[in-house]
A = this chain, B = another copy of it.
Amino acid sequence: MKTAYLILLSFLVQTVCSFSSAVAEPLPSWNSNKTKRTLVEFVESTTTPGSKKFLEPSDRIAVFDNDGTLWAEQPVYFQALFIFDRIKQLAPKHPEWKTEEPFASVLRDDYKSALAGGKESLLKMTMATHAGLTTEDFHGIVKQWIDSAKHPKTSRPYTEMIYKPMLELLEYLRDNGFKTFIVSGGGIEFMRPWVEKVYGIPPEQVIGSSIETKYEVKNGTPSLVRLAELNFIDDKAGKPVGINQHIGRRPVLAFGNSDGDFEMLEWTTAGKGPRLGVLIHHTDSKREWAYDRKSHIGKLERGLDEAKTRNWLIVDMKRDWEEVFLPDNG
């Protein structure tokens, strides 16, 4: 009698489980079309036991660019906006900035001129705002900024400028045993304070650009001090290098949106077995922004030219996404 109930119970549990997974259609913010089908088919074929394309859980490594792939990157990278805000905050301690470029331009709210100096200007501003303090202090500053700053165009918190379809994709992949990593040209320590809460990606799964740090013990208290010296640029050909340094194996899935992600997709999709490279194409000037070949941010040219021959999937934001951003909580 008891055995009969146990069998019944086991049957009920199985039925309920398969029923609920059949009902909960994955990726609800993705329109039901070929793009979505390609993503779902990749996941199903690589995770169904017995499938020819089955991947062991340890091989299910998925990497995501951040700027323009998981959250927006217009009118400029959000980290640049953090830098501008930080320069203004630090200005009282730096009277010389009133006449020193690129700081003077930032203090006049002329961000275009501040960025006109290219890489050199950006590096100067990065070092002035990111170095000379401990990792823990920097972490606190980033956290305070991300919790309070608002996007200049939408007036929404930056953590609401993330793409709902991509968040669903991250969760869908994790539900299917994939380990999700961020591989961004942005600063590793600029992302770590908030990405776990926002994307569900822990700090140890974040790869990014970095400056040098130095271990110091003062009055018996150890700290890691951030130095005004570049350590690693996690962009273009640096992305596969960063992936190897941090992950130590080749991903099977790579998501990017610009030519800065080209080598990451190339490296990922050149491996053996099932692979998928995906480019998010910004085509929606109404709900987001529309840009590619001629953009000063997130330029996408080679990727568009070669996606077809390389069998990479292009996500057309306007066509493929039913929703773009998270609902407005403000």
Contact = CB atoms under 8 A, between A and B. Distances in A.
A127 interface: no
B206 A248 contact: yes
- The secondary-structure label for the interface of chain A is helix
Contacts of A19: none
B266 A217 contact: yes
Nearest to A243: B224
A69 interface: no
A58 to B, nearest CB: 6
A317 to B, nearest CB: 28
Nearest to A217: B266
Interface string A190-228: 001000100000111110001001110100011010000
A313 interface: no
A6 B213 CA distance: 57
Given A5-B9, A215-B241, 18 more contacts: A2-B5, A5-B5, A9-B9, A58-B202, A188-B245, A189-B248, A203-B247, A203-B248, A204-B204, A204-B246, A213-B244, A215-B237, A215-B263, A222-B267, A222-B270, A224-B240, A224-B241, A224-B244
A240 B263 contact: no
A204 B248 contact: yes
> What band does the interface of chain A fall in when counting residues whose beta carbon is under 8 Å from B?
35 or more
Contact of A248 (B192, B214, B244, B248): B192
A249 interface: yes
A35 interface: no
Contact of A240 (B2, B6, B9, B222): B222
Interface string A257-268: 000000100110
